[in-house]
Amino acid sequence: MSDKLFDQFKTWYEKRHDYARDWKARTGGQVVATMCTYSPEELLIAADMLPVRVLGAHEPQNVSEPHIFGMFCPFCRDSLAQGLLNRFDYAEGVTLTQSCIQYRQTFGSWRLHVPTVKWDYYCPMPNELQSQRARKAHTAEIQRFREFLEQLTGKPLSDEKLNDAIATVNENRRLLREIYEYRKEANPKVTGLEAIYAALTAQFIDKKEHNAELKKVLAALPARKMAREEGIRLMTIGSENDDCSFMAMVETVGATIVIDDQCSGTRYFWNESKPSGDPIKEIAERYCDRPACPTKDYPTHTRFDHVLNLAKEYKAQAAVFLQQKFCDPHEGDYPDLKRHLEAAGIPTLFLEFDITNPIGPFRIRIEAFLETMREDDLF
């Protein structure tokens, strides 16, 4: 769009390492590389740290293979490569909350082989979140993480600080959902590419600055006029996706991405924590209650109906699975989730993502998929 409304998010995304270095210089705070969106950012923010989610660079690399297998998902390999290539040399800490085993080993390799790491913290989290004991167990783990940070910084992490951090992060979640609300409209005022810039940058920009920018955008959105064609309304489904050039391509061939179920998007910010008077419990339960990653979605598949409801609510006409190659949890869900959506009249397309993606061949697949839903004039 020519109004440049989302340009700050795009700039932050493209210059995220510069931003983190600048933040560190101006605040004197520590930067923490976070892996997986189950990482409780509230604790780090309360400790005056900047959580920066590790994202890949979508460039060919040859540094991760001595440490993790080539059949680990491309996002893990790309993420580890960023550490090994010293792109996160400003991050003192690295933390992971348990989700999948490939991420766990990526974290292990980062901790051992990225020379600038000063401290690391692995936060266990039950994968069987539907167990009656899960919430209690995770609350205890969040408390343990709090104690670790207190010991690390030599400062108490008071309830007051935690409550402030919860309020800031909740506001960020709420504002992002307000941005996403605009995607429900016909010819939405927010494109999929713009939405992904806003959601991704929330994962590494100081939340207060990010909130201020979101408010600015929200104030301008009601008057925004969209000059583009809407085309077919699509949903994207998968683990992580920050391939902005892919998103941009899809939205130039007659489609608008209106919603996602991805950890780079809605799963990161969809729910807020609920007030209970105990900030540790609030934080822990918020992560237990968030839209589930397939690693934490058994024995009942709660995400199938969640995904279908999102598709309906945002009037998605079709869904594209952006499957990170070798991501077993998502690939395991795929056949049933595909059937679930198609039974509800939502056709699907499966694309396998790698560290680098072939835009030309993907474009053919997307265009051909869109042609199956339109072009009745041709017959």
Binding of other proteins by 156 (CB under 8 A): no
**Residue number with CB closer to other proteins (89 or 354):** 354
Minimum CB separation of residue 377 from other proteins in Å reads 6
Look-up: residue for tokens 């009942």?
Answer: 300
Determine the interface stretch with other proteins among 40-48, 264-272, 301-309, 371-379 (rule: CB under 8 A). 371-379
Q: Give whole-number Cα distances, 83 to 75, 122, 208, 239, 240, in Å.
A: 13, 17, 26, 20, 18
**Residue number with CB closer to other proteins (9 or 246):** 246
The answer to whether 255 touches 229, Cβ cutoff 8 Å, is no
Q: State which of positions 301-360 bind other proteins (CB under 8 A).
A: 352, 354, 358, 360
Distance, in Å, from the CA atom of 178 to the CA atom of 186, rounded to the nearest integer, reads: 16
Binding of other proteins by 372 (CB under 8 A): yes
The answer to whether 105 touches 72, Cβ cutoff 8 Å, is yes
Q: 334's torsion region: left (phi>0), alpha (psi -120 to 50) or beta?
A: alpha
Binding of other proteins by 71 (CB under 8 A): no
Q: Give whole-number Cα distances, 290 to 68, 158, 183, 264, 306, in Å.
A: 29, 25, 21, 13, 11
- List Cβ neighbours of 293 (8 Å cut-off, separation of 6 or more): 38, 99, 100, 239, 263, 267, 329
Binding of other proteins by 104 (CB under 8 A): no
Sequence letter at residue 188: P
Q: Which of 49, 43, 46, 42 is nearest to 23 (CA)?
A: 49
Minimum CB separation of residue 206 from other proteins in Å reads 39
Distance, in Å, from the CA atom of 286 to the CA atom of 290, rounded to the nearest integer, reads: 6
**Residue number with CB closer to other proteins (186 or 377):** 377
Minimum CB separation of residue 365 from other proteins in Å reads 6
Minimum CB separation of residue 77 from other proteins in Å reads 16
Binding of other proteins by 254 (CB under 8 A): no
**Residue number with CB closer to other proteins (275 or 361):** 361
**Residue number with CB closer to other proteins (9 or 369):** 369
**Residue number with CB closer to other proteins (22 or 375):** 375
**Residue number with CB closer to other proteins (156 or 358):** 358
Minimum CB separation of residue 372 from other proteins in Å reads 5
Binding of other proteins by 248 (CB under 8 A): no
Distance, in Å, from the CA atom of 264 to the CA atom of 52, rounded to the nearest integer, reads: 13
Determine the interface stretch with other proteins among 77-85, 191-199, 256-264, 366-374 (rule: CB under 8 A). 366-374
**Residue number with CB closer to other proteins (124 or 347):** 347
Q: Give whole-number Cα distances, 48 to 31, 41, 156, 157, 175, in Å.
A: 9, 11, 12, 10, 22
Sequence letter at residue 290: R
Minimum CB separation of residue 56 from other proteins in Å reads 17
Contact set with other proteins (CB under 8 A): 352, 354, 358, 360-361, 364-365, 367-369, 371-372, 375, 377-379
